[in-house]
Amino acid sequence: MRIAVCDDDRAIRDEISRLVKKQMPEADIAAYQSGEEMISAGEDFDISFLDIEMGKVSGMDIARHIREKEASLTQRSILIFVTGYREYMEEAFDVNAFHYLIKPIDPEKFAEVFDRARKEMSAFDEQNKKQIMVKTSGIQQFSSLYVSGDFLYHAICTAGNHHCVPGMMGINGAVFC
């Protein structure tokens, strides 16, 4: 699992990294001291821990950048704000933040939130493995899908569409013949 930690305070970056490693020793952690540095790295992360006030590029700016980048993808990362400012909580909902932790970090609360975030990311990964690609005039991916049928035909129902597909469907890999 790829984890980003972005905070202008080195002690906080180190503390978050230590808390993550305590629960998930195999985590791949990238630490950034500024919003500019994280955005210019151009990497994708499963979970991002973001401070809010860091200089020119705030944690909210990073969150908006991540969500804009994800708009055309099926990938959805988890954003957790770690800050000393309660007044940004409402704004965190605008970027679909997973949680909002207040400094100083409570290790028990951190462990609880991080555990829930890991479970959420694992569930999302499993859900993405169950998607079926249907090729029409290009490739379309349906996020809401229902498949039923028998040996001869399969009904594929998506939001607003209904398709009957002749042939057989494989169990592993959803192969249409």
CATH number of the domain that residue 54 is part of: 3.40.50.2300
What domain count does the chain have? 2
The pLDDT of residue 123:
81
- What value does the mean pLDDT take over residues 32-44? 96
Q: pTM, whole model, 2 decimals?
A: 0.71
Domain-located, residue 55: yes
Q: Are residues 78 and 20 in the same domain?
A: yes
Domain-located, residue 40: yes
Helix (H) or strand (E) holding 49: strand 47-50
Domain-located, residue 16: yes
Domain-located, residue 97: yes
Domain-located, residue 86: yes
Which range of residues forms the domain containing residue 121? 2-129
Q: Are residues 28 and 63 in the same domain?
A: yes
Domain-located, residue 176: no
Across 27-36, 67-76, 148-157, which has the greatest mean pLDDT? 27-36
Q: Are residues 112 and 28 in the same domain?
A: yes
Average pLDDT over the chain reads 81
The pLDDT of residue 11:
97
The pLDDT of residue 71:
83
Q: Are residues 72 and 102 in the same domain?
A: yes
Domain-located, residue 15: yes
> Residue 134 pairs with which residues in a beta bridge?
140
Q: How many CA atoms lie within 13 A of 24 on its CB side?
A: 19
Dihedral sign for Cα atoms in the order 106, 109, 112, 116: negative
Q: Are residues 33 and 106 in the same domain?
A: yes
Q: Are residues 12 and 95 in the same domain?
A: yes
Cα separation, 162 vs 165, in Å, equals 10
Domain-located, residue 61: yes
Checking if the pLDDT of 21 tops 80, the result is yes
Cα separation, 71 vs 59, in Å, equals 18
